[in-house]
A and B are shown apart, each in its own frame.
Chain A
């Protein structure tokens, strides 16, 4: 009906207000703002990128390795993001927790011959136990001391792995009688990443997330509001360890083997530090930030930097660049790249305003 006619002749003359239905364009925009849809879209784009890099020459094959390891480690980073950004605790045990996943897959699958998904369940169970232990410890020790303590715990776990079986090799995993080739692991890894993202987002925006934030700001106020510090600290640590453990199962699924004693293994201190750095770089309160930070730490090297011919001739420079980047980001953007991006948005709108003013003069009315 015509807008002008409506004022005169519409059914509203019955004195009941009626709302015009939302235009379709607005609905579409609403869908894009829905975080669940965003994450699904992200997963789809990731799979398309991976497929392009594997099947076609448009993207180099090195992209596959970079993106898939980003996806694997992102799971651990998201858990860490929740732990650090929302409950205010940091840990350096991620490496050890990742090992839980690797070893449970190894023992459950190769030694007992059971299915891969059962292995994931076992990994989650063990991770819960370890998470409970760390959670209880976190009640007594805080801040940087807790960080060092989890570092110790991670070293314990790594020692245990070293003694149990230094290098593990599971080869290619079979699921439902099908051998999962390296290139096909993405069909398992990416959906799990997307599920983890959705679940985490739900938790963050739920009362649980609020309670964690309250606890981070002030334990005393949180307790006075009826929030049990024990419960939520345990919860945060369990989530962190479980995510890290799932990340470990994904890594072993992709790589097929791992060694505990080598300095660059998944369980070493360097992994814990990298995940910590990823979360700090990305901005420790945002899921997107965590994923982007992980990409900077794990994916950027193989995807972008190595394809620049000057850098591929001097591979040492790549590590130097990433190190300097980390230092610069932490020093000048304490909120991480998420903060940088927000600042960027503000700057753009300011720039647009300036352009307008240059053209039309200042708006006086």
Chain B
């Protein structure tokens, strides 16, 4: 017996089905992402080719177009352009003259002299500037006359002929390119389909090697059973049991020091729970015990979280902050990063598009290029929520989302939380002190005190519960 277990352990060291599954799923995810963005990528290629053809035709058309144009109209346009450029130059001269005048007047007032001479000087200069413009206009008109004398003919035949010919050409070429690109797309998508099918087959094979004995009740996403967390003699969480249903907003409340954050930290594996189990139906529909995972593998199962104090990377932009959440989704490894191969940029592009969509959804797309350092606290909180959304999580854990926000921001947050639940089809588990937010937003509320369950139910039920009232307000002495 002992021998086989040792063997299996050694085997696990070299090959573990769980890690193989993770790898396969990552590949599958990328294949699907590529398939989705396939059309966009080739559209870009097509656009590039067509624009190249167009600019070539533009060059061909240049001479006949000049012959075909109405020369008077053309000359007027040229003149207007030149005059505009000249005016722009003169604007600065005006400014300089005016500035000199104000300076001179101030100086004169300070000394107590009359500033009449300054004004006269200014008028002189001003006249000079105006005269310059008139001169320029005259020069332009002369140029126009010369031009018309030289070229005053209009001949459209050549242009029309060439244009018609090129139009036919263009249509033909466009058709060819479309055909080619469609072929390419279909070939690539066929390959991707094959790959996806193959990967799915492989995943199914590997899945059979992992046994899932636990099943959850219907519609339950997370089931915490008998959770215990002791710090030395202190029982921070003591035998806590609750279920979180799919698609609900679940609030965890309790007085300070009740162990709410500890529960979160146990679920996200920051603390290794002293006892108890946390069953979770992960991204792929399997029921897993969270205790089997390391803290940095939790996100792969579909749980992401936000923090009480905003914990963003200050030195990079908001957009890149969102990409941090996707570190595990990149297929490229250290060596590819070190060599700077173009694969990395390709992956970045796909993920950046996704991140931009989420930022748009949160209504903060204008801040995408900003550094996280120095942004207002309300925006940072939103960025953190956006980051939690990046990893396609099924369950988002929010630790005091309204802490440090003002009333209007809290109201906005309420809307956002509801919108997230509806749009992204996620379940939300939150700890909050702001009772208004909890009562507004939560479907189910669970009240705990000293690590033990007090009440669970709809917000109204919990509000009316006597034990909860005692925990918050203390026992009345009679």
> Knowing A5-B74, A223-B270, A224-B295 touch, does A359 contact B99 (C-beta < 8 A)?
yes
Chain B, 335-355, CB within 8 A of any chain A CB: 337-340, 344, 348
Are B323 and A210 in touch, CB under 8 angstroms? Answer: yes
With both chains docked as a complex, state the minimum distance between the C-beta of A336 and any C-beta of chain B, in angstroms.
14
CB contacts (< 8 Å) of A2 on chain B: these are 62, 66
The residue in chain B whose Cβ has the minimal distance to the Cβ of A11 is: B57
The answer, among A198, A211, A361, for a CB contact under 8 Å with B99, is A361
The reply to whether A198 and B340 form a contact with Cβ atoms under 8 Å apart is yes
Q: Which of A48-56, A199-207, A273-281 contacts B (4 or more CB under 8 A)?
A: A199-207
B327, CB-defined interface residue at 8 Å = yes
Number of chain B residues whose Cβ lies closer than 8 Å to a Cβ of chain A: 63
Quick check: is B59 within 8 A (CB to CB) of the other chain?
yes
A28 touches B (CB below 8 Å): no
Kindly provide the distance from the CB of B73 to the nearest chain A CB, expressed in whole angstroms: 9
Of B55, B77, B320, the contact of A4 (CB 8 Å cutoff): B77
Q: Does B296 contact A (CB under 8 A)?
A: yes
- The yes or no answer to B96 lying at the interface (CB within 8 A) is yes
- Per-residue contact bits, chain A 129-149, to B (CB 8 Å; 1 contact, 0 not): 000000000000000000000
Residues A217 and B314 in contact, CB atoms below 8 Å apart: yes
A347 contacts partner chain B, Cβ-Cβ < 8 Å: no
Question: Given contacts A4-B74, A203-B337, A217-B311, are A226 and B325 in contact (CB under 8 A)?
Answer: yes
For B56, give the chain A residue with the smallest CB separation: A11
Tell me the chain A residues, 333-365 only, with Cβ under 8 Å from chain B: 359-361, 363
Asked if residues A211 and B324 are in contact (CB atoms below 8 Å), the reply is yes
Bound CA span A36–B299, Å:
35
User: Quick check: A12 and B296 within 8 Å, CB to CB?
Assistant: no
How far is A201 from B61 in the complex, measured between Cα atoms in Å? 46
Instruction: Determine the chain B residues whose CB is within 8 A of the CB of A227 once the complex forms.
Output: 296, 324, 327-328
Closest to A230 in B: B296
Q: Is B360 an interface residue (CB 8 A)?
A: no
Task: Tell me whether A214 is interfacial, beta carbon within 8 Å.
Answer: yes
Contacts of A5 in B (CB 8 A): 62, 65-66, 69, 74
Tell me the smallest distance from the CB of B292 to a CB of chain A, in Å: 16
- The contact of B299 among A198, A210, A225, by CB within 8 Å, is A225
Contact with B along A163-203 (1 / 0, CB 8 A): 00000000000000000000000000000000000110111
- Min CB distance B24 to A, Å, is 17
B477 CB within 8 Å of chain A: no
Which residues of chain B are within 8 angstroms of A206 by Cβ–Cβ distance?
Answer: 332, 337-338, 340, 344
Q: Does B134 contact A (CB under 8 A)?
A: no
Judge whether A309 is part of the interface by a CB distance below 8 angstroms.
Answer: no
User: Which one, B51, B98, B297, B330, contacts A207 given CB within 8 A?
Assistant: B330
Q: Mark B39-81, 1 if CB is under 8 A from A, else 0.
A: 0000000000011001101110110011011000010011001
Residue in A9, A217, A218, A222 whose CB lies within 8 Å of B61: A9
Q: Are B96 and A361 in contact (CB under 8 A)?
A: yes
A6: B residues at CB distance < 8 A: 58
Give the dominant DSSP class at A's interface. Answer: helix
Q: Which residue of the partner chain B has the closest CB to A285?
A: B315
Chain B residue nearest in CB terms to A208 = B337
Q: How far does the alpha carbon of A199 sit from the alpha carbon of B340 in the complex, in Å?
A: 8
Bound CA span A15–B465, Å: 69
Residues of B within 8 A of A359 (CB): 96, 99
A224 touches B305 (CB 8 A): yes
CB proximity of A273 to chain B, nearest CB, Å: 26
Q: Identify the closest chain B residue to A359 (Cβ).
A: B96
Q: How far is the CB of A134 from chain B (nearest CB, A)?
A: 18
Residues of chain A contacted by B334 (CB below 8 angstroms): 208, 235
Report how far A156 CA is from B373 CA in the complex, Å.
Answer: 41
Q: Once the chains bind, are A213 and B61 in contact (CB under 8 Å)? A: no
The answer to whether A225 touches B325, judged by C-beta atoms less than 8 angstroms apart, is yes
Q: Which A residues are in CB contact (< 8 Å) with B304?
A: 224-225
CB-based nearest B residue for A201: B340
Say yes or no: B311 contacts A20, CB within 8 Å: no
Does the CB pair B325–A360 fall under 8 Å? no
User: A19 and B51 in contact (CB under 8 A), knowing A207-B337, A225-B324, A361-B102?
Assistant: yes
Closest to A19 in B: B51
Contact between B299 and A224, CB atoms less than 8 A apart: yes
Give, as a whole number of angstroms, the nearest-CB distance from B296 to chain A: 4
Smallest CB separation, A196 vs chain B (Å): 11
Is A24 positioned at the interface, with any CB of B under 8 Å from its CB?
Answer: no
Per the bound structure, the CA–CA distance linking A6 and B74 in Å amounts to 11
A4-B78, A198-B340, A208-B334 as given contacts; A12 in contact with B387, CB under 8 Å = no
Residue of A202, A220, A224, A229 with most partner-chain B CB within 10 A = A224
B371 contacts the other chain (CB 8 A): no
Name A202's contact: one of B92, B159, B340 (CB within 8 Å).
Answer: B340
Known contacts A20-B55, A203-B337, A360-B96: A226-B391 contact under CB 8 Å: yes
Contact B312–A18 (Cβ < 8 Å)? no
Tell me whether A14 and B313 are in contact (CB under 8 A): no
Residue B298 CB within 8 A of the other chain: yes
Indicate whether A10 reaches chain B with its CB closer than 8 angstroms. Answer: yes
Q: Would you call A317 an interface residue if the criterion is a C-beta within 8 Å of the partner chain's C-beta atoms?
A: no
Residues of B within 8 A of A224 (CB): 268, 270, 295, 298-299, 304-305, 307
Tell me whether B316 is interfacial, beta carbon within 8 Å: yes
**Chain A residues, Cβ within 8 Å of B297:** 226
What distance in Å separates the Cβ of A127 from its nearest Cβ neighbour in chain B?
Answer: 16
The verdict on A112 contacting chain B, using a C-beta distance below 8 Å, is no
B295 contacts A210, CB within 8 Å? no
Asked if A220 contacts B307 (CB within 8 A), the reply is yes
Docked CA distance A10–B50 (Å): 14
* Contact A9:B159 (CB < 8 A) given known A199-B338, A210-B324, A226-B325: yes
* Residues on B with beta carbons closer than 8 Å to the beta carbon of A19: 51
The docked-state distance in angstroms from the alpha carbon of A20 to that of B298 is 49
CB nearest neighbor in B for A204: B337
> Quick check: is B166 within 8 A (CB to CB) of the other chain?
yes
CB atoms of B92 and A213 under 8 A apart? no
Does A228 have its Cβ within 8 Å of any Cβ on chain B? Answer: yes
B367 touches A (CB below 8 Å)? no
| Chain B residues numbered 95-125 whose CB sits less than 8 Å from any CB in chain A | 95-96, 98-99, 102
- What distance in Å separates the Cβ of B89 from its nearest Cβ neighbour in chain A? 12
Contact pattern, A 20-64, Cβ under 8 Å of B = 1, otherwise 0: 110000000000000010000000000000000000000000000
Q: Chain A contacts of B348 at CB under 8 A?
A: 207
Assembled-state Cα–Cα distance A222/B69 (Å)? 64
| A18 and B78 form a contact (CB under 8 A) | no
Binding site for A on B (CB under 8 A): 50-51, 54-55, 57-59, 61-62, 65-66, 68-69, 74, 77-78, 81, 92, 95-96, 98-99, 102, 159, 166-167, 170, 268, 270, 294-300, 304-305, 307, 311-316, 320, 323-328, 330, 332, 334, 337-340, 344, 348, 387, 391
State the 4 A-B residue pairs at the shortest beta-carbon distance, nearest first.
A361-B99, A202-B340, A221-B311, A206-B337
**Can you list 10 contacts pairing A with B, beta carbon distance less than 8 Å?**
A4-B78, A6-B58, A207-B348, A211-B327, A217-B312, A218-B311, A220-B270, A224-B307, A225-B299, A359-B96
Kindly list 14 other residue pairs between chains A and B, CB separation below 8 angstroms, not including A224-B268, A227-B324, A361-B99: A1-B61, A1-B62, A1-B65, A10-B65, A14-B167, A20-B55, A36-B340, A199-B338, A210-B313, A221-B311, A222-B324, A225-B324, A226-B325, A360-B96
